[in-house]
Amino acid sequence: MDAVTEAKRNAGYRAADLVKDGMIVGLGTGSTVFFAMERLGERIASEGIRIFGVPTSNQTAMRAEEYGIPLTTLSLHPVLDIAIDGADQVTPSKQMIKGRGAAHLREKIVADAAKQFVVVIDSAKEVSVLDAAVPIEILPFAYGSVCRKLASLGGEPVMRNGVKKDGPVISDNGNYIFDCAFGKVDDPSGLESAINAIPGVLENGIFAKMTEKTLIIVGKSA
């Protein structure tokens, strides 16, 4: 196991060990979260803890089934005890950019529903200022007008294209994903609101309004 993978595993396992018997757990998407799910599966098997997970993507739902994690929905459990997710960039003030896996719409809904939001990362994701391209989920009908307005905000929107698939990436919700570069983001909260105010935008990958309930776990390697 290389150092980065070991750090991700360390972060995921530490997050999973915060989960208590009887909790409803939001399950994010991505490699570090999958280590948390691996550990939760171990705890279910060895300790007999009883939990339910709310997955943020089809991939997460399939992985949860592999690990023996029972699933439920936000309709049945609109308030979650904890949500565990990863991030692409995180600042010291706990503001972040997410969405490399194109699941940020459901991830933000699940994080908002959780009492505690636990974000698992390796040290490479720590930054002083957010500057990665911002993933944005856009209703296909509106992408032309949305891109024009993103440009007026100083952004450079680029449609995310598939790998091993011709054409655009389509989210689990049936929408387009654009990655929009803004350079250094000096006001993450303001930009998050401005992007979401554009008709046709479903959600963007800036997470700047949940810092009070957010716990960042940075994984370590031996």
The question of whether 66 is a catalytic residue gets the answer no
Is 86 marked as binding a ligand? yes
The amino acid sitting at 60 is T
Count the residues in the chain: 222
Q: Which of 6, 47, 107, 203 is catalytic?
A: 107
Is 87 marked as binding a ligand? yes
Is 26 marked as binding a ligand? no
Is 30 marked as binding a ligand? yes
Cβ-contact 41, 70 below 8 angstroms: no
Report in angstroms the alpha-carbon separations of 95 from 66, 90, 157, 212: 32, 6, 21, 10
Is 29 marked as binding a ligand? yes
Alpha-carbon gap, residue 79 to 183, rounded angstroms: 35
Is 183 marked as binding a ligand? no
- Token representation of residue 208: 């700047």
Is 101 marked as binding a ligand? yes
Give the CA angle between residues 136, 138, 144 to the nearest 5°: 110
Is 28 marked as binding a ligand? no
Is 81 marked as binding a ligand? no
Q: Which runs of consecutive H residues, i.e. helices, occur in 53-103? A: 58-67
Reduced to 3 states (helix: H, G, I; strand: E, B; else coil), residue 171 is coil
Residues catalogued as catalytic: 107
Annotated binding site: 29-32, 85-88, 98-101, 125
Annotated binding site for substrate: 29-32, 85-88, 98-101, 125
